[in-house]
């Protein structure tokens, strides 16, 4: 049975992901920052909450856990983080869990926070996918709050090693502002211009731009392109120094974005 993934918008620009197997009522939610839209969704579609998956400790990803657990007796999967006491099954790099008939494996991807993990899966007969929280966004990456630029670079490389067809289920709709920044970094990137047109159309129709695919991100996301000469040149010009190491390039592009 195919895996079905629903998009639940929350707050200003968060996406909560709810998945279940077609025809089954057992549903799983990723990063429920708010319980209310999840409870409404479960009721509307006659689903039961069978588990909660957490990528990292920020409140916009964890704030709804307590209320959800007051309605449903469900396990909470997540990183080994002192900041998330409700986690009942702590997960580490290489661990796997089978939910909704699908095996998810865990990637540790520190940088945005030190506890950040991602869940990747290859459902039979469907595109591979990853729930990557606030690490890799469509056309961008998360701010480096707790880790180092090197950690963030390595975490993005880990995600970049997934197959091109991988659907990137990130946790925020930041795409248009990310694309505007990406165009400032790479004004001559034609794939970026095409993606901007497509995504502006989607947003005008009120549609999410997420998920993207890794193949498209590789062509358009500056944070996955730090090994390329065009990115090294842009970062060097911005910093007024000669940068060539991809980690230094990524650090500079991230600083640039922070004040863009």
Say whether 56 is catalytic. Answer: yes
* Number of separate helices (H) and strands (E) present in the chain: 9, 14
C-beta of 142 vs 222, nearer to Fe ion: 142
Phi (first) and psi of residue 10, to 5 degrees: -145, 155
Q: Cβ contacts of residue 186 below 8 Å, gap of 6+?
A: 192, 222, 225, 230, 231, 234
Catalytic choice (60, 115, 199, 248): 60
Say whether 238 is catalytic. Answer: no
C-beta of 83 vs 127, nearer to Fe ion: 83
Least separation in angstroms between residue 157's CB and Fe ion is 21
Beta-strand pair 48-53/102-108: unpaired
d(CA 110, CA 62): 17
Query: 143 near 137, Cβ under 8 Å?
Result: no
Burial 38-75 (b: 16+ CB within 10 A, else e): bbebbeeeebebbbbbbbbbbebbbbbbeebbeebebb
Say whether 57 is catalytic. Answer: no
Q: Which does 186 bind (CB under 5 to 8 A by kind): Fe ion, Zn ion, none?
A: none
Least separation in angstroms between residue 145's CB and Zn ion is 7
Residues in contact with Fe ion, counted by CB under 5 A, come to a total of 2
Least separation in angstroms between residue 151's CB and Zn ion is 15
C-beta of 144 vs 234, nearer to Zn ion: 144
Could you tell me which stretch among 45-53, 131-139, 193-201, 217-225 binds Fe ion (CB under 5 A)? 131-139
134 binds Fe ion (CB under 5 A): yes
Residues in touch with Zn ion (CB under 5 A): 58, 134
Least separation in angstroms between residue 208's CB and Zn ion is 18
Q: Do you know the residue count of the chain? A: 260
Catalytic choice (31, 34, 56, 57): 56
199 binds Fe ion (CB under 5 A): no
60 binds Fe ion (CB under 5 A): yes
Query: 15 near 171, Cβ under 8 Å?
Result: yes
Which sequence positions are flagged as catalytic? 56, 58, 60-61, 112, 134, 172
């Amino acid at each position: 049975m195919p895996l079905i993934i629903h998009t639940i918008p929350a707050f200003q620009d968060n996406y909560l992901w709810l998945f279940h197997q077609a025809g089954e009522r057992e549903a799983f939610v990723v990063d429920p920052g708010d319980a209310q839209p999840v409870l409404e969704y479960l009721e509307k579609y006659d689903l039961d909450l069978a588990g909660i998956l957490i990528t990292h400790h920020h409140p916009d990803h964890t704030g709804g856990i307590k209320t959800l657990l007051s309605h449903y007796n469900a396990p909470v999967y997540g990183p080994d983080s002192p900041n998330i006491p409700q986690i009942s099954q702590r997960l580490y790099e290489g661990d796997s869990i089978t939910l909704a008939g699908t095996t998810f494996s865990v990637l540790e991807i520190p940088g945005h926070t030190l506890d950040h993990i991602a869940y990747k899966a290859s459902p039979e007969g469907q595109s591979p996918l990853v729930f990557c929280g606030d690490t890799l966004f469509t056309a961008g990456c998360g701010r480096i709050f707790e880790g180092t630029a090197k950690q963030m670079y390595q975490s993005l490389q880990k995600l970049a090693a997934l197959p091109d067809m991988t659907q990137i289920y990130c946790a925020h709709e930041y795409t248009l502002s990310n694309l505007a920044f990406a165009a400032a970094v790479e004004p001559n990137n034609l794939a970026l211009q095409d993606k901007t047109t497509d995504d502006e159309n989607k947003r005008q129709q009120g549609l999410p731009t997420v998920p993207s695919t890794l193949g498209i991100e590789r062509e358009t996301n500056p944070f996955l392109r730090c090994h390329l000469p065009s990115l090294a040149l842009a970062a060097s010009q911005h910093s007024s120094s000669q940068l060539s190491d991809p980690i230094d390039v990524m650090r500079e592009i991230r600083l640039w974005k922070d004040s863009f």
